[in-house]
């Protein structure tokens, strides 16, 4: 396995994750069909998931999680910091798509800076 494989994999997975996040936004949260279904039958599991996702958006859970992971990833040295930066991107990209852009933009930039930061020589 080459050294570039994790980078290539990350560059493939992150745009797919962002596309899935926009799909959840426009196909599930903003679709008028789901609004009508959930007004009539609020006890359906899909409506419960939609409601909980709405609460997560309202309380900015994804944005805060991304920001905390990005700050920790920037401070923690070594591989653990890199993994925290990847986790911050995993939380930050859906937060950008799901109305938490004010927090997520800082988290995504900070995580990106952590991932491209050069390692210090010993």
User: pLDDT tens, 8-40?
Assistant: 999 999 999 999 999 999 999 999 998 889 888
pTM above 0.85, yes or no: yes
Structural tokens at position 35: 């609004």
User: Cα(121)–Cα(70) distance, rounded to whole angstroms?
Assistant: 23
User: Cα(30)–Cα(71) distance, rounded to whole angstroms?
Assistant: 31
Dihedral, CA of residue 60, residue 62, residue 64 and residue 65, to nearest 10: 150
- pLDDT digits over 83-115, tens only? 999 999 999 999 999 999 999 999 999 999 999
- CB burial of 103-114 (b: ≥16 within 10 Å; e: otherwise) equals bbbbbbebbeeb
SS3 state of residue 1: coil
Contacts of 113 (CB under 8 A, 6+ apart): 74
Task: Kindly report the average pLDDT of the chain as a whole number.
Answer: 91
């Amino acid at each position: 396995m080459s050294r570039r494989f994790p980078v290539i994999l990350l560059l493939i997975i992150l745009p797919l994750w962002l596309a899935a996040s926009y799909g959840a936004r426009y196909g599930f949260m903003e679709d008028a069909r789901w609004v009508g279904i959930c007004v009539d039958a609020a006890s359906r599991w899909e409506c419960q998931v939609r409601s909980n996702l709405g609460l997560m958006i309202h309380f900015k859970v994804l944005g805060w999680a991304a920001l905390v992971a990005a700050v920790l990833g920037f401070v923690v040295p070594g591989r653990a910091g890199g993994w925290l930066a990847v986790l911050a991107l995993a939380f930050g990209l859906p937060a950008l798509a799901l109305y938490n852009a004010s927090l997520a933009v800082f988290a995504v930039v900070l995580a990106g800076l952590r991932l491209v930061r050069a390692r210090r020589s010993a």
